[in-house]
Structure 1
Amino acid sequence: MNTHKNARLTVSGRALLVQRILEEGLRPVEVAQSQGVSVRTAYKWLNRYRVEGKEGLQDRSSRPKFCPHTLPEKCQEQVLELRRQRKTYRQISQDLKVGHSTVGRLLSRNGLNRLAYLEPPPPVIRYEYSQPGGLLHLDIKKLGRFNKPGHRVTRDRLKGRSYHVGWEYAHVAIDDNSRVAHS
């Protein structure tokens, strides 16, 4: 777990709290005041240390160990199987009498929330000419020239135009075999 920068007690702070109470003989009220926490918090960490030792001072996950409302494994497998048969969320929830949002959450967790995810994309077949220099791809890019800054610099659309200045062209050639480009 990540403790935030303003946390009153980190793991080392909890160990210091317990050390001051047990080894130095200070009262929990005094230690709690000196470390800026409540007395109840001091007793909580002291009791955890007495029961679990140093492991009791570590951060714990706030996630519950058991949730009585989770779908049974059999029902979860049925949802996934129906999705693999390309059924929609609504069809699955009506067939199994499970909530629409529950189906969506389960499919997202298993990476089947989009129908496109059911089939892997086809591999890209790259064409390559067998002889270097035998096939070139040519492209021409037309670029407008300007002789003074435009409206994006001057913020004036009327005075910032460049009239009759001309064009520049960039010619690009790419070899099909080696993919070497020249401009």
Structure 2
Amino acid sequence: MSHANAALTPRARLRLARLIVEDGWPVARAAERFQVSWPTAKRWAERYRQAGAAGMHDRSSRPHFSPTRTPAPVVRRIVHLRWKRRLGPVGIASELRVPASTVYAVLARCRISRLSHLDRATGEPVRRYEHLHPGDLLHMDVKKLGQIPDGGGWRFLGREQGKRNRHLTPGKPRSQYRQPRMGHTYVHTVIDDHSRVAYAEIHDDETRETAVAVLRRAVAWFAARGVVTRRVLTDNGGCYRSHLWRDACAELGVTHRRTRPYRPQTNGKIERFHRSLAAGWAFARLYPSESARRNALPAWLHEYNHHRLHTAIGQVPPITRLTNLTGQNS
């Protein structure tokens, strides 16, 4: 295979071969001219006679026949155990009575050597996609969180103190057992498929009216950043199946897509964003009240969009994938 310091690149091989075959140069003289050995010059001349200019490129060094290669039935059993039982090389080797190194070589050749590359539900290789331009697809969903009592919740203070804080929080309804009902917070999230830029709003419900209002504001928010929304992907929640949602999408010129029922992996980008949202904002520290946590969301979103490096897009902040921002190139 040719490299940066190779004496003969494919173009130089062609010139060498033509000197010998077409111009009648002696092999030794042509080899001296290109500073290679005469067997090398002769080999390229023979290839030129047989295949022409196409024969000047490197050939694969892979053997035509590998008698010691792992048999196909064994490969199929290795892949089956990996997909269906998610076993590692050692576990598969003990099942099939083959060396663990052989199992790993097969897994690497089939590109399933990492469990993170396999779907947790089906065990099949994960199929990833990314739209080419910002706005080609927006993922939209709702993250439901329990509200924090005044004084802090049980995650940081423990069960007993968290229970006391729930009872001391004013204005909360009581159950038939006199237990306070803290209620829930609904974070309506929107994320661009190409850039991973995120938009979020906090509300007290997930009704169709709220979902439509969030969609309108999200489309306007992205439009202010030079992004034209073309499609939106949601799950099959009631707010996304309403006539009000359908009419709003038609008015905005947005095509609505739904995920497969009972398969959140279809909307996996926003599900992964919810995981980051929970770890980086919702449960990142002790909040003395629900209002304190809500007030912290805009700052975290700015950090996520403008400063946090995103591994899925090449270790850069999501905002860098939007090329039409005002002042970006100044």
Taking structure 2 as the reference length, the TM-score comes to 0.37
Q: Which residue of 1 is the match for residue 109 of structure 2?
A: 109
CA distance in 2, matches of 1:180, 1:90: 45
- Partner of 1:119 in structure 2? 120
Shift of residue 87, structure 1, vs aligned partner: 3.3
The equivalent residue for 1:48 is: 47
Alignment of 1:1-183 (within 5 A): 3-83=2-82, 84-115=84-115, 117-119=118-120, 126=143, 127-128=187-188, 129-130=202-203, 137-139=294-296, 174=298
What displacement does 1:24 show?
A: 2.1
Cα-to-partner distance string for 1:113-162 (whole Å, 9 max, x where unaligned): 344535069xx853223478xx77334xxxxxxxxxxxxxxxxxxxxxxx
Cα distance in 2, alignment partners of residues 10 and 180 from structure 1: 51
Contact 1:112 1:118 in 2 (8 A): no
| Cα distance in structure 2, aligned partners of 1:61 and 1:82 | 32
Q: Would the alpha carbon gap of residues 26 and 108 (structure 1) be closer, same or farther in structure 2, given more than 3 Å must change?
A: closer
When residues 115 and 41 of structure 1 are mapped into structure 2, their CA distance, relative to the original with a 3 A threshold, is closer
4+ aligned runs moved over 4 Å, structure 1: none
Contact between 2:18 and 2:45, CA under 8 Å: does it hold in 1? no
Cα 1:110/1:125, change in 2 over 3 Å: farther
Distance 1:180 1:22 in 2: 68
3-state SS of paired residue (1:137) = helix
- Long gaps (5+) in structure 1: 140-172
Change (3 A) 1:93 1:26: same
Q: Point out the structure with the larger helix share.
A: 2
Quote the residue 1:154 is aligned against: none
Structure 2, unpaired ranges of 5+: 127-140, 144-186, 189-201, 204-209, 215-290, 304-330
Provide the aligned C-alpha RMSD in A: 3.1
Distance 1:60 1:119, change over 3 A: same
Q: Describe the superposition over 1:24-45 as per-residue Cα deviations: whole angstroms up to 9, x where unpaired.
A: 2211101100100000001111
Summarize deviations over 1:57-94 as a string: whole Å, max 9, x none.
12212222332222122111111112222334323212
Q: Does the 8 A contact of 1:11 with 1:58 survive in 2?
A: yes
Alpha carbons 2:21, 2:49 under 8 Å: kept: no
Equivalent residue for 2:280? none
User: What residue identity is the alignment partner of 1:52?
Assistant: A
Give yes or no for contact 2:81–2:92 (8 Å, CA) kept in 1. yes
Tell me the matched-pair count.
141
Q: Distance in 1 between matches of 2:73 and 2:27?
A: 51
Q: Which has the larger radius of gyration?
A: 1
* TM-score of the pair, normalised by structure 1: 0.63
Q: Is the 8 A contact 1:137 1:175 kept in 2?
A: no
Equivalent residues of 1:92, 1:103 under 8 A apart: yes
Q: Which amino acid aligns with 2:109?
A: R
**SS of residue in 2 equivalent to 1:69:** coil
Q: 1:22 to 1:104 in 2, by over 3 A?
A: closer
| 1:102 CA displacement | 1.0
Name the stretch that deviates more: 35-44 or 88-97.
88-97
CA distance in 2, matches of 1:125, 1:76: 43
